[in-house]
Structures are given as structure tokens and as C-alpha cells.
Chains A and B, each alone.
Chain A
Amino acid sequence: MDTDLLIRKLASDLKPVPRRSMAARLCIGAAAGASLALAGVALVLGLRPDLARAVFGFTFWMKLIYVASLGAGGLLASVHLARPEARPTSRFWLLVVPVFVLADIAAWQFYFTASSLWPKLILGDSARVCSTYIFLISIPVFAGLLVAFRRFAPTRLRAAGAAAGLAAGGIAASVYSLHCPEVGAAFVLIWYSLGILAAALAGAVLGPFVLRW
């Protein structure tokens, strides 16, 4: 096609772009994926039966805030890396803050718990499945983020994929925490983090293939 014609066609059907449209688009994608994930968890695994009581407890919020902050960090990094001129920034290091805070809580829990109960704090009853579930739940969230990325212009595809994977993992873990009754901070620090890390790594591997434009 002739360039002149192309330009006229592109300009003739111009829709305004609101200022925060990128973040909004990413959040819609994440929310769509998260709804699907939540429906899947509620139907297949079931929400924890004591959920109504748990929301008044410390460990419920400890888990949710930890993984949600990692998910939020992943979303912010995704918005950053979705711009073509983006370079990695040192602000990504802020992601270690929630990890350190949770490690503190874990140490504090060990200190106040008889050492005979430590395996319970670390392994709980579901150490074997926790990471795998979180990874599986992150798949629909990642898919939702990919749809959002179709209008973005990432040029560092591996980094952008890792950021989207981290966001998907953090959101998936938030959903999973509505099912999981574990109370150990060390349990969350190890098994939740592993699931989220696996999602981020998968994103980094897939990024160069699925984010191309």
C-alpha cells in the first residue's frame, strides 16, 4: 500500500487515548485472568472453610499482603517494560522488600515456637503441592496479561515476559491464599515464593516468543 494512503487511513479513524490507558488496560487483563483463576480455585480446590474467621487473623493478611505486593511489583514493572524506550531500572530492587519483611516474620515465629513444631511451620500439610498449584493458577492470569500486551511495545521481551510472569504469579498466589490454610511465614516464604518464581521464569522463557510484534 502507498504510504500516503496508509497515513490517511490511520488518521481518519482516530480514537482519543486517555492518560492512564496503559495501566488500565493491564489491570483489566489481570482482573479478567484473576476472575478465571478464582473461579477455578473455588470450583476445583474450594475456598478454605474457615475463611470468614480467617480474615480476622494475622497469617491470612501476612500471606495475602506478601504475595499481592509481589504481584503489584510485577504489574508496575510490566507497565514500565511495555514502553519501547524502557531500560531496566534499579527500582526493581524494591521487590526484595516484601521478601525481607516476611523473612523477619518467619524468624520471629521460629523464636516463639517450640523447635519440635518447626517442621510444621516450614512444611505445613501442603508443601508438596503449593508451588505447583500457584504455577498452574498463574496460567490464566498470564494469558490475560498477554492480551493486554498486544497493544504495548516492549523491546526487552525477556524482561517484559519475566515482569508479566511475576505479576501473574503474585496474583495467582493471592487467589490461592483464599484456599490455603497454612499459617507458617517460612512456609509462605519458601513455597509461595517458589511458585511465583516459577511463573516469572516461565514468563522470561516465553517472552521472546509470545510478546513479539
Chain B
Amino acid sequence: MRPDEELLRTLMINGLEGDSPSYEALLRALAPVLRAYFGRRLASAAQDADDLVQESLLAIHTRRSTYDRERPFLPWVYAIARYKLVDYFRRRGAAAPAEALDERHAAAGFEEAVAARMDVARLLDSLPAKQRAAIEAMKLRGESVADATLSTGLSAAHVKVSVHRGLKSLAARFRKDG
């Protein structure tokens, strides 16, 4: 499962404000994300992967002031994890295997994906609530009309009309901006 950027970012910002429960929840959520990251790259050294998870959590904590609240959160986390991984290979005197570091590209792509998702969210926010809910249900989550009536609480005809009108006004806005 993909880690949830929005949720983690909110927890991080609360943590920076000094909210201890949010912060603990954040670290708990990050531990499996980091374990997956290191586990995939150090399949043969499970104990080392666990050590790197702890080192990364510690680094995230002591260096948390370097997170900029205006920017995406997960690329920041992955940059720290990646640094720890490179450092691990360097300490062992081995050159980092290329496939272990491919994450650089993956992380960069991920950052763009997050930014794109944020753009979509911002666009949808400009629509009336009903149209936004209908588009989110049918176009983003890929639900059928029947499912969408359940999740939005609108009638089937209403859902279809809302999606249609919402997309039309978004298209009009693109034509104007473009």
C-alpha cells in the first residue's frame, strides 16, 4: 500500500508544533515504510535493514527542523533514507549497487506524482461540493454509478449530471488558463 502523503504531512506538521501523540503516530506509520524501503534493497541482511530503520527514525527526529512545511513530506523522508543507505554501503567499503539506488529516480517521479495529486485536489476544490464528490467517486476512485450514489448520497441521475457539469467547468477553466 502506498503511504498517505497528506496524512503523514499533517502529522508531521502537528509534530513540529509540539503535538506528541501526532508525532508518535507519524513515527509508527513511518517505521513500516522505511522497513519496506531498506528491506527491498538489503534482502540478504535483515538485521542491517532493521538498524537502518532505527537510524533513519533517529535522524528524522534530530533533523526534523530541516523539513519545510510548504513542501511534500515523503520525498524528504526518502531523501533521508537514501542518504542512510548510501552511508551504509560506504561504511562497509562497498560501492552501492546501482539497483539499490534506483530509488532516486523513483523518488523524483514520486514527488511529481504527489505534486500532480495536489494540483488535482486544488482544481477540484474550486468546484461546488456535489460536483467535486461525484468526480472524486467516479473519475478518481473509479466507482460505478451505483457505488457513487452510495458514497456521495446523491441519486444516480444527480451523480451523472454533477460529473458532467463539473468536468465541463474544469475544461472551460483550462481553456481560459491555457
Contact = CB atoms under 8 A, between A and B. Distances in A.
Q: Do A and B bind each other?
A: yes
Interface of A: 1, 3, 6-8, 10-12, 14-17, 19, 21-22, 25, 82-85, 151-153, 155, 212-213
A184 B111 CA distance: 49
A213 B66 contact: no
Given A7-B24, A7-B28, A7-B31, A152 B63 contact: yes
Contacts of A152: 63, 65-66
A151 B50 CA distance: 23
Interface residues of chain B: helix, strand, loop or mixed (majority): helix
Interface in B63-98: 63-69, 71, 75-76, 78-80, 82-83, 87
Interface stretch (B10-18, B128-136, B169-177): B10-18
A1 B78 CA distance: 23
Interface residues of B, number: 37
A153 B59 contact: yes
Nearest to B24: A11
B58 interface: yes
Interface of B: 15-21, 23-24, 27-28, 31, 50, 53-54, 57-59, 61-69, 71, 75-76, 78-80, 82-83, 87, 111
A6 B57 contact: yes
A213 B55 CA distance: 10
Contact of B63 (A7, A15, A16, A153): A153
Contact of A16 (B18, B61, B62, B76): B18
Contact of B57 (A3, A16, A83): A3
Contacts of A3: 31, 50, 53-54, 57
B64 A17 contact: yes
